[in-house]
Structure 1
Amino acid sequence: MRVRPRLWIGFAIWIGYVVVIFLVTKLMGVPYTRIGATAEETWKGAVVDLAVGAVLLVITTSLLGWWRPALFERKRSHHKWPIFVPIVLAIVALVNIFSTDWSKFDASFVLALVSLGILVGFNEEIMARGLVLTAFRSRLHEGWAWFLSSVLFGAMHLINAALGAPLGGTLVQVAVAFASGTAFYIVRRVTGSLIWAMLLHGLWDVSVFAVGHAPLGVPYASFLAPVVGVLALVVVYWVIKGTDEKSADVGDGITRARLQ
């Protein structure tokens, strides 16, 4: 790593990302409630800001030299069974996909949703459970690193209220994001790779926007997200137990190598 992980770097990355997403979305002039309503509004209101954020995250990760710790665990969780929670989330997402009336989407709309899924999966995972987690692991026990990175992941959704979303609904979204973010953290710990969490995150967001725009009946599956989140909070202890992922150890190793 070119730059040794520090706690403050994690907070700085989070603040910078949230500010960029908010400002770019604001400049696009699409209220949050209109994202997913039409192809044009989805492109302008969700894809453009995420594309800008992705470029900046790639640059930041490269300059820091944190690609490996951001994307991969040094040791996977000893307990593999908690992976059932993300699997349930994936099943719910697929049910959403098959509960969507795709005849109401043109090619541009489908491409916008796919782009949104790829970008949101990459951006929010590399930021929250990649860079921020790596920074927090430099000084915090893994339990605190998980908790604070998940809190920040949930809190970042507060900007939706500033972009036109109802405050009550946004607060619920913050809580659900904290819990569902824990499911993505479980994917990272059990598989040893953030890439699977990126894929699941992207699939989930695509399914929610798709079924929200053109549901075939009542989208009951989407209501299961809080349940999956609660399950994730219940089992996360077992993927944290015995974890030794402190990035400070890596930095110390680099320093010792240079002194030899």
Structure 2
Amino acid sequence: MRVTPRAWIGFAIWAGYVLVIISVTLLSGVPYPDIGTSAESTWRGAVLDLAVGGALLAILATVLGWWRPALFERTRAHHKWPIFVPIIMFIAAIMNIFNTDWAQFDASFLLSLLALGVLVGFSEELMARGLVLTSFRARFAEGWAWFLSSLLFGLMHLANAVLGAPLLASLAQAGLAFASGTAFYIVRRVTGSLVWAMLLHGLWDVSVFAVGHAPVSAALGSILGPVVGILALAVVYWVIKGADERPVTTTPTANPAVA
């Protein structure tokens, strides 16, 4: 690592990312409720800010030298069975996809959703359960590192109220994001890699936006979202137990003096 992780760096990364997302989205002129209703609103209101935020995070990870701790665990969770919760989330996403009337999407709209999925998975996971988690692990025990990184991930969604979403809906989304973020944390701990969490996160968001725009029937998959969150909070203890992922830094040692 070029820079030793510190907790304050995590808070600064989170604040900076949220500021970038809000600023770029406001400049796009697309209110949050309109995102996902058309190709143009998705490109301008979601893909653009995620692309800018993701690019800045990638540069930051390179400058800090944190790619490895941000993307990979040193040791996977001792208990693997909590992975059933993210599996339910995956199944719910697939249900959403099959419950979507894809005939209502033209090529540009489909491409915007694909770009949204890739970028939201990469950017938000690299921020919350990548760089921020790495920072917090340098200062806090794993339980607190999980809690604080998931809390900030949830609070990040309050920015939607600034972008035009109703405050109560944003508060509910923040709570759900805290819980669903815990499911992504479980994926990281059990598989040992943030990449799988990125993929699941991207798939979930695409499925929710798609079925929200063109549902064939009642979106049963989306109803499972709160259930997944509750289950994730109920089992997260078992992937935290025994974890020691504090960043390992090396201090250069002086060469022996030559006689």
Question: Any stretches of 5+ residues in structure 2 without a counterpart?
Answer: none
Q: Whole-Å Cα distance in 2 between the matches of residues 140 and 38 of structure 1? A: 43
What is aligned with 1:105? 105
Name the CA distance, whole Å, in 2 between partners of 1:47 and 1:258: 46
2: CA distance, partners of 1:56 / 1:221: 33
Which structure: greater helix fraction?
1
1:91 aligns with 2:91: yes
Q: CA deviation at 1:164?
A: 0.5
Paired residue type of 1:228: V
Equivalent in the alignment of 1:118: 118
Query: Letter of the aligned partner of 1:121 in structure 2?
Result: G
Q: How far is the alpha carbon of 1:259 from its aligned partner?
A: 4.0
Please name the residue that 1:49 is paired with: 49
Q: Number of residue pairs matched? A: 255
- 1:78-120 C-alpha deviation (Å, 9 max, x unpaired): 0000000000000000000000000000000000000000000
Using structure 1 for the length normalisation, give the TM-score. Answer: 0.97
Could you say which residue in structure 2 is the equivalent of 1:258? Answer: 253
The 5-angstrom pairing of residues 19-58 of structure 1 reads 19-58=19-58
Aligned-pair CA distance for 1:206: 0.2
Normalised TM-score (structure 2):
0.97
The one-character-per-residue Cα deviations of 1:13-67 (angstroms, maximum 9, x if unpaired) are 0000000000000000000000000000110000001111111011000000000
**Which residue does 1:223 correspond to in 2?**
223
Q: CA deviation at 1:221?
A: 1.6
d(CA) in 2 for partners of 1:54, 1:132:
14
CA 1:215/1:60 → structure 2, altered by over 3 Å: closer, same or farther? same
Per-residue CA deviation, residues 154-206 of structure 1 (Å, 9 max, x unaligned), is 00000000100011111100000000000000000000000000000000000
Q: Does the 8 A contact of 2:95 with 2:220 survive in 1?
A: no
Equivalent-residue separation in structure 2 for 1:94 and 1:153 (angstroms)? 24
How far does the alpha carbon of each residue in 1:133-155 deviate from its partner, in whole angstroms, 9 at most, with x for none?
00000010000000000000000
Root-mean-square deviation over aligned CA pairs = 0.7
Paired with 1:119 and 1:60, the residues of 2 have a C-alpha distance of 16
CA distance in 1: counterparts of 2:71 and 2:5, whole angstroms: 14
